[in-house]
Every structure is written in C-alpha cells, then in structure tokens.
Amino acid sequence: DVKVTQSSRYLVKRTGEKVFLECVQDMDHENMFWYRQDPGLGLRLIYFSYDVKMKEKGDIPEGYSVSREKKERFSLILESASTNQTSMYLCASSAPRKEKIYGYTFGSGTRLTVV
C-alpha cells in the first residue's frame, strides 16, 4: 500500500559531500514536493515540480537543487552538504486540481545528519 517512497529513512553524511535524496510515487501524480522539517519551524517548502523536467523554488531553495527526469521520481540534491542542512526531509505528491480535495500524500521522511 506504499504510495510515496523515500529511499532512505536515515542518512549520515560528511560536510562537503554531495547528497541525493530520492522520492518515488506510484500514483501518477503530476505534482511533487520537497519539504524540510525542523523543530519549531514546521514544514518549509524547498522545491516543487508540477511536471517532468519542471521545477519551481519554494521558500528555502538555497543550497539545494532538484531533478525530475521521470514523472514518478523527484530527487533532492545537496551539492555540498553543510551541518545546517541536518534535518528531516519529507517528500509529498498530489494531483493538480484534486489537491484541494485529496490533499498531499507524504513519504515516511528521511532524517539526514551532516557531520
């Protein structure tokens, strides 16, 4: 019954490493999102994509990039990981024009620690 899958639950990376967080959904949703979640700050939108090869910056895109080569897969890339990117990362997807009816479907999250 898994619909949005994030490839890793826990990751530990070193400062300066290039990090890939992968998200795959099997619901044929056009929209996909990456959020980070930090205590006291709630969910903050990093990037979103509304179609293959399309991407839009969210509220906090600095230090991140994304890739959407296939409809079902949305990757978040940390070009050079820093300790302030230690966080929980959540991927979500939705169907346009149905988002306001069905909301988002979230993955289980990836807890990234940068040391």
Partner 1 sequence: AQSVTQLDSHVSVSEGTPVLLRCNYSSSYSPSLFWYVQHPNKGLQLLLKYTSAATLVKGINGFEAEFKKSETSFHLTKPSAHMSDAAEYFCVVSDRAGGFKTIFGAGTRLFVKA
Is 115 a binder of partner 1 (CB under 8 A)?
no
Nearer to partner 1, 3 or 18 (CB): 3
**Which residue shows structure tokens 């346009």?**
96
Distance of CA 102 to the CA centre of its chain: 19
Least Å from the CB of residue 16 to partner 1: 26
Least Å from the CB of residue 107 to partner 1: 5
**Which residue shows structure tokens 């509304």?**
50
Dihedral of alpha carbons 46, 32, 41, 79, sign: negative
| Pair of tokens at residue 113 | 């620690």
Contacts of partner 1 in 1-40 (CB under 8 A) = 4, 6, 9, 31, 40
CA 103, CA 93: separation in Å to the nearest integer? 9
Binding flags for partner 1, 64-93, as an x/- string (CB under 8 A): ------------------------x-x-x-
Q: Any bridge partners for residue 106, and if so which?
A: 92
**Which residues sit at the interface with partner 1, rule CB under 8 A?**
4, 6, 9, 31, 40-43, 48, 50, 56, 88, 90, 92, 94, 96-97, 99-109, 111
